[in-house]
Amino acid sequence: MSAKPKITSRLHHNAHVTTDMEAVRKFYEEIIGFPLIATWCEKTDLFGKERVYMHCFFEVGNGECLAFFQFADEEDGKEFGPELPLSGFRHLAMKVDQQTQDGIRDRLAAAGYKEPDTYILNHGYCYSLYVFDPARLLIEFTVDHEDVDKINAERRADAHEELERWLAGDHSPNNEAYHRAAD
């Protein structure tokens, strides 16, 4: 196994493309509560063509950010989109406390968000609020189960064994907490 990569301290940012930066700004600043901390206006040669775009950063905490690009040229936006099908499996998850999750849920409801654009799942090991933002990025705000340290230690201890079992064809679930929570 190669040496573990050295991450200096944190995630810097996770970037996406939008065609409506103002809708994204309103969503993250006014509903979710992530402040806009930087807007970079760019004009540079990228991939063989001069591109004009802006790049906005919304701080999620601890200096970590969600970032969004919007291109001046609609064709550049289409090129870098991506126009991906909506999927509950392609998402960005953020750990929050119960009070924060409740506040986000209430502000989403007040802003008119409802299923299927927002929904809640109890995974057994965490309780999650999902919402599609105006750029159609699925964001998950998750509150850990009160026994998260014990649950994580159990999964860490058998992670390789469970992977091997599943890849060998035994697809039986190992998330009994989820099955109890779903009942």
Give one DSSP letter per residue of 75-121, joined into a string. Answer: HHHHHH---PPP-TTSEEEEE--HHHHHHHHHHHHHTT--TTSEEEE
pLDDT category of residue 183 using cuts at 50, 70 and 90? very low
Mean pLDDT value of segment 21-38: 95
Residue 56 corresponds to which tokens in the numbers above? 């906005």
Mean pLDDT value of segment 79-105: 82
Q: Where are the beta strands (DSSP E) in the chain?
A: 13-17, 36-46, 49-61, 64-71, 91-95, 118-122, 126-132, 138-144
Q: What is the pLDDT of residue 108?
A: 96
pLDDT category of residue 172 using cuts at 50, 70 and 90? confident
Phi, psi of 157 (to 5 degrees): -65, -30
From-to residues of CATH 3.30.720.110 in the chain = 87-183
Residue 172 corresponds to which tokens in the numbers above? 């039986």
Q: 173 or 29, which is more confident?
A: 29
Edge-first strand listing for the sheet containing 138-144:
91-95, 138-144, 126-132, 118-122
How many other C-beta atoms can be found within 10 angstroms of the C-beta atom of residue 28?
23
106/109 Cα distance (integer angstroms)? 5
From-to residues of CATH 3.10.180.10 in the chain = 10-83
10-83 — its CATH code? 3.10.180.10
Instruction: Report helix, strand or coil for 48.
Output: coil
Q: What is the pLDDT of residue 84?
A: 65
Mean pLDDT value of segment 126-134: 91
How many other C-beta atoms can be found within 10 angstroms of the C-beta atom of residue 47?
8
Q: 27 or 91, which is more confident?
A: 27
| H or E stretch covering 164 | helix 148-167
Q: 134 or 182, which is more confident?
A: 134
Q: What percent of the chain has pLDDT over 70?
A: 87
Edge-first strand listing for the sheet containing 13-17:
13-17, 64-71, 49-61, 36-46
Q: What is the pLDDT of residue 70?
A: 92
Mean pLDDT value of segment 66-70: 92
pLDDT digits (tens, 9 = 90+) for 54-67: 999 999 998 899 99
Lowest average pLDDT, out of 4-13, 28-37, 77-86, goes to 4-13
Beta-bridge partners for 55:
40, 69
183/178 Cα distance (integer angstroms)? 9
User: pTM of this prediction?
Assistant: 0.77
Mean pLDDT value of segment 157-177: 85
Mean pLDDT value of segment 117-145: 89
87-183 — its CATH code? 3.30.720.110
Closest by alpha carbon to 140, among 125, 119, 115, 111? 119
Q: 168 or 181, which is more confident?
A: 168
